[in-house]
Structure 1
C-alpha cells in the first residue's frame, strides 16, 4: 500500500510515523512549557501535529528536480522598473512651520507612517520633525527612529524634497509627547480620518501651522489616502520607502552576516546552491488570539486565547461569530508552522532547502515548530546563525530584531509569509520593486485543503501547485484604495518599454 493511501486514523500509520520520526513525539518536546510558574496565560496542552496523513508523505517525498529548478529560478523581466528621481536640487520654498507625528504599531506599520509623514509635510510645505515612535503595547519596545533607521541618510536622501530636523528649535521645546498626553491642546490634531485626502490637510492642518508655527498629528497610522494625489507626492512616498529608509549600520552589518552564512553554510557548502528562502512565520500569541481560530491546543488553549483577547484588547476584539471551519474556508486563519511546511514541501522545496525563519515569538514554542523543523532540518534563524555577542545590540528589542529579519528577507531568493500582515505587505511591495520572487499563500485554498481529511498527498500536492502557479511574484497593478507600499505599480515603477 502506498503511503498516500494510508488512512488518517490508522494506528499502524501513526505507529510508522512514531518509529520513523520519534522526535515528533518526544516527551520533552511536547511537555508543558512551565508547570512550576503558572500564569494568567498558561496553556498546559502543548500542540502536536494535526495533519499526520500529509506529514508522513511530506517527510518521505523528494520533489522532482524540474519543479525545484522552476521554483528557484529568478523572475524574468516583467516590463517595469523603478522610476528615476530628479537629481537636481530644486529651490525649497520657505517652510510654513513644523509637523510632528506620533507613530504606533510595529516596525512595518511605523515605516508606512514615516512615508506618509514625509508626503504630508510636502503637501503642507512644512518642516518634518523626525517621527516619534510610541511604545508598542504588545512588543513593549521603546526603540526610537534613530535606533532603527539611519537618520543622516534619511535627511540627505530627501534634502531636495522637504526640510527635516532631528529636534525642534528652543521656542517649540514645549511640544512633546508628554505635553499632548496631559490634556487637550490646540496644536494637536486628533481628528485626521483614515486615508485623508490632501485637501483635508490643507483645510484642517495648514491653518494651525499658520497660526502656531507647529502642528502635531496623533494618531497618524494610515492617515493619508492612496488615491487622488499628485504624482509627485506618490513618487515621494515611494522614494522614502524604497530609498530613504535604510537601517542603521550595525543592523545592516548583522543582516549581511546572516545572509553570507546562509549562502555559504560552512561544512555544508558542498550541499548548498548558495540560495536561501525566508519564511516569515507570524504565528505569535497576538495573531492567534486575534484570529479566533482553533489551532489544536484543546480547551486550555481556547481559554487562554479568550483571556488574552479580554485583557489585551479589553473587549475591542471578541470571538468571531463564525465557526473554525467557516473561518478556514474563508482563508482567515493564519497557517501554523506545520501547515506552511506542508505547503512548501508540496510546492517543491526539498529537505535540503536553506530556510531562514523570520519570526518574533512562535506561539506554542519549539513544540509548535517541531514538524516544520523536521521537514526542513536546515532551517535557521537569528539565534542559530549569530552569536550572542553579534546579537548584542539588537537582543531584546523587537523593532531591531524585526529590522534584521527585514534586511535578510529583502535579499533572499524567495520570500514566503505564512499569513497576511504588515510584514507580508511591506515585503510584497519591496520585493516587487526589486523584481524578486515572493510566494503569496492562497489562504482560502489552504484552509479548505486542511479541512479535508480524505485528501491524499498526491491530490494535496497537485492542488497546492496549481493554486500557487500565479502567486510567485508576478506583478500586479495597484487597484483603487490599495496600498502603494504593497503594490508599487504604477505609482513607483515605470514601464521599461514604451
Structure 2
C-alpha cells in the first residue's frame, strides 16, 4: 500500500511539472509572437511613414508669426495687370435668362465674364418667368426681385461697366428688333465671343443674348 501511494505521488508530481512546463512554454511562445508582430508593424510603419514614428518639424515657420494681411486686396481691385474698364466700351450687352435659381446664378457670372472679355457695358439681365423656372415664385418679374441692383453694380465697378437699362435712344431700336440676338450654348468658348459676337457688337453697338441652358460660357 505504501509503495502504491509513493507511485501515485510521483505520478502527480510528474503531471504537475509537465503541466507547468507546458504553461511556461505557451507563455514564452505568445510573448515572442507579440514582440515579433509589434516589431514588424513598427518597422513597416517607420519605413512607409517615417515622420509619424519619429515626428520631426522640418518647417519651423509653420508656427512662426503670421504676417499682416493688409497688403492683400480683393481681385477686383485695379492694378497694372488688371485695369479698371474705361467708359468707352465696344457697346452694350443685354440678356434674357431662363431657368431656376442655379441657372440664373451661373448665367449672371458668365455674363459678367463675357462683358469683361469683350469690353462691353452689361445691361442688368432680365430674368424671364417660365414653366421651367422651378422653385421660383410666380411673382418675380425682374432682376431686382432676387438681387440688389445697386450693390451688384457697385461691387463690380472695377470689373465691368453695368447699367440698369439701355440709353433712351437705343430702346426703340431694341423694341423693333434692330439689334442682333444670339442664343449661345453653355459650352460656348471665349473664341466664339471674340470671333462671332465682338464684330457684331462693334458694328451695331448693341447685342442681345438669350440664355436657356444655365450658362453661356464653357
> Which TM-score band (shorter chain)?
0.5 to 0.7
Q: Please list every run of 5 or more consecutive structure 1 residues that lacks an aligned counterpart in the other structure.
A: 1-82, 226-498
Deviation of 1:88 (Å) = 3.8
Counterpart selection for 2:131 from 137, 143, 167: 137
Deviation of 1:174 (Å) = 2.4
Could you tell me which residue of structure 2 aligns to residue 123 of structure 1?
A: 117
Deviation of 1:168 (Å) = 0.6
What pairs up with 1:81-120 in 2 under 5 angstroms?
Answer: 84-88=74-78, 90-93=83-86, 94-120=88-114
For residue 115 of structure 2, give the secondary structure of its aligned residue in structure 1: helix
| In 2, Cα distance between equivalents of 1:149 and 1:158 | 14
| In 2, Cα distance between equivalents of 1:122 and 1:116 | 10
| 2:202 maps to 1:210 | yes
| In 1, Cα distance between equivalents of 2:76 and 2:108 | 21
Deviation of 1:189 (Å) = 1.2
For residue 211 of structure 2, give the secondary structure of its aligned residue in structure 1: coil
Cα deviation per residue 1:233-272 (whole Å; 9 max; x = unaligned)? xxxxxxxxxxxxxxxxxxxxxxxxxxxxxxxxxxxxxxxx
| In 2, Cα distance between equivalents of 1:113 and 1:133 | 10
After superposition, the Cα gap between the structure-2 partners of 1:145 and 1:175, relative to the gap in structure 1 and judged at 3 Å, is farther
Indicate conservation of the 8 Å contact 2:126/2:143, yes or no: yes
For residue 199 of structure 1, give the secondary structure of its aligned residue in structure 2: helix
| In 2, Cα distance between equivalents of 1:211 and 1:100 | 16
Q: Give the 4+ runs in structure 1 shifted more than 6 A.
A: none
After superposition, the Cα gap between the structure-2 partners of 1:108 and 1:201, relative to the gap in structure 1 and judged at 3 Å, is same
| In 1, Cα distance between equivalents of 2:148 and 2:91 | 24
Q: Please list every run of 5 or more consecutive structure 2 residues that lacks an aligned counterpart in the other structure.
A: 1-72
What pairs up with 1:314-333 in 2 under 5 angstroms?
Answer: none
What pairs up with 1:313-462 in 2 under 5 angstroms?
Answer: none
For residue 131 of structure 2, give the secondary structure of its aligned residue in structure 1: coil
For residue 172 of structure 2, give the secondary structure of its aligned residue in structure 1: coil
Could you tell me which residue of structure 1 aligns to residue 189 of structure 2?
A: 197
Indicate conservation of the 8 Å contact 2:188/2:217, yes or no: yes
Cα deviation per residue 1:336-360 (whole Å; 9 max; x = unaligned)? xxxxxxxxxxxxxxxxxxxxxxxxx
| In 2, Cα distance between equivalents of 1:85 and 1:98 | 24
Cα deviation per residue 1:402-435 (whole Å; 9 max; x = unaligned)? xxxxxxxxxxxxxxxxxxxxxxxxxxxxxxxxxx
Deviation of 1:171 (Å) = 1.5
Indicate conservation of the 8 Å contact 1:100/1:130, yes or no: yes
Could you tell me which residue of structure 1 aligns to residue 153 of structure 2?
A: 155
Deviation of 1:170 (Å) = 1.1
| In 2, Cα distance between equivalents of 1:205 and 1:137 | 29
Could you tell me which residue of structure 2 aligns to residue 188 of structure 1?
A: 181
For residue 96 of structure 2, give the secondary structure of its aligned residue in structure 1: strand
